[in-house]
Amino acid sequence: MTDTHKQLPHLVFGGELTTLDGSEFKDLSKLDIVGIFPDYASAAAAWKAKAQQTVDNALMRYFVVHLHRLLDPETGKVQGS
């Protein structure tokens, strides 16, 4: 059976920030790469699970990156390169 859905990869990652109101990480070598997911729904579920696990650390943040938005659909290359 062929999957007829378009692939829309999403990256989920996180780490400890330097301040509550910023997005700069305290230590890039300690980023938690949760994974790459085939759609937003599964990425959001992974993001939510990780965010709930780290709720006691106010500086810990997880993000969802829409990787498919970085790819040029015409060439399949990363946009801007």
The separation between the first and the last C-alpha atoms of the chain, rounded to the nearest angstrom, is 35
State the average pLDDT for the chain: 88
Predicted confidence (pLDDT) per residue in 29-64, tens digit: 999 999 999 999 999 999 999 999 999 999 999 999
Find the range with the poorest average confidence among 21-25, 57-61, 69-73, 77-81.
77-81
Is the predicted pLDDT of residue 7 greater than 90, yes or no?
no
Global pTM?
A: 0.81
What proportion of the chain, given as a percentage, has pLDDT over 90? 72
How far is the C-alpha of 31 from the C-alpha of 42, rounded, in Å? 20
Enumerate the domain spans of the chain. 41-67
